[in-house]
């Protein structure tokens, strides 16, 4: 999707949001944020990325790539920055460049890391909709996302499909296919377990954000849905779409849409935007070091 169209859709979503909520109420909610709880949420973010780094290192080790934990943590944050700039966070694939190893093997770890993340997210989202939210529309859209994710997973993990697309595009992805065999079984299972731990930490962060906003902490169950829909690449970094979903979910739970929008924006800033800015700074240092 072209950037101009995504920009138009982003603006359209925010226009729709602000026609349904009181902007003054939103400003009032933000101004009354409890900074102590917000600080607690921010303190949990390094742990969140440490968990994700651990999962990636586990996958890299499974294909024979050894890198220091600190280096992978840094590269992961750089990937977050690139992900902010690209639809569906595909820019995170740029991590492969900073690993400086066989392209195919490195690619396989990033793909599996993202697929296990999405699998966990899809499972949690469907669980929330079925058990807590009475919304056929959300269920239908989530079902569409699930179907798309399943198709992508099959194509990304199937030897014949990968070989076909590689030949069709006239490119070689080295040891990608062979590396996938090493990632199946125990490494894949371990990655899925770590993914659940990652979202457990995310729930803790979301819990503190809700406390900071003086909102109903029960609304923490909306977290998987907000993140899942934010990954649909139709707006810039999921902005507007994610907040719309948050507003709808909060209303379904008997809370105000304003609280949902505030929650989504604050959560995005803490979990993605700030780490992305840190990643941008690290990228500048990387480029500077290459000159010397």
Structure tokens at 166: 């590689």
Structure tokens at 35: 């900074």
How much is the pTM? 0.89
Cα separation, 255 vs 252, whole angstroms = 7
Cα separation, 9 vs 240, whole angstroms = 8
CA 186 to chain centre: 24
Contact yes or no for 63/105 (Cβ under 8 A): yes
Cα Dmax for the chain: 59
Local confidence pLDDT in tens for the 292 residues of the chain: 566 777 788 888 878 887 888 778 888 888 889 999 999 999 999 999 999 999 999 999 999 999 999 999 999 999 999 888 766 566 677 888 888 777 888 888 998 999 999 999 999 999 999 998 878 888 888 888 889 888 888 888 777 777 776 666 556 666 787 888 888 889 999 999 999 999 999 999 999 999 999 999 999 999 999 998 888 887 777 888 899 999 989 999 999 999 999 999 999 999 999 999 999 999 888 765 544 3
């Amino acid at each position: 999707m072209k950037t101009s169209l995504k920009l138009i859709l982003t603006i359209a979503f925010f226009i729709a949001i602000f026609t349904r909520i009181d902007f003054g109420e939103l400003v009032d909610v933000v101004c009354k944020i409890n900074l102590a709880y917000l600080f607690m949420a921010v303190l949990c973010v390094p742990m969140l990325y440490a968990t994700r780094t651990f999962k990636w290192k586990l996958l890299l080790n499974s294909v024979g790539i050894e890198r220091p934990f600190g280096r992978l943590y840094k590269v992961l944050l750089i990937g977050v920055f690139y992900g902010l700039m690209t639809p569906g966070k595909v820019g995170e694939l740029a991590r492969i460049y900073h690993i400086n190893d066989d392209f195919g093997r490195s690619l396989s770890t990033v793909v599996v890391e993202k697929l296990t993340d999405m699998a966990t997210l899809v499972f949690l989202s469907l669980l929330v909709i079925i058990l807590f939210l009475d919304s056929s529309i959300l269920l239908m859209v989530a079902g569409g996302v699930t179907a798309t994710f399943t198709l992508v997973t099959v194509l990304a993990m199937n030897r014949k499909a990968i070989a076909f697309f590689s030949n069709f595009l006239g490119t070689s992805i080295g040891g990608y296919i062979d590396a996938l065999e090493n990632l199946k079984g125990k490494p894949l299972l371990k990655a899925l377990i770590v993914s659940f731990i990652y979202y457990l930490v995310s729930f803790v962060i979301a819990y503190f954000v809700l406390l900071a906003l003086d909102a109903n902490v029960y609304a923490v169950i909306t977290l998987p849905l907000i993140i899942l829909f934010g990954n649909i690449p139709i707006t810039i970094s999921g902005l507007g779409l994610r907040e719309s979903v948050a507003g709808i979910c909060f209303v379904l739970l008997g809370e105000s849409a304003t609280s949902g929008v505030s929650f989504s924006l604050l959560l995005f800033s803490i979990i993605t935007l700030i780490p992305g800015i840190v990643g941008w700074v690290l990228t500048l240092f990387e480029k500077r070091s290459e000159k010397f």
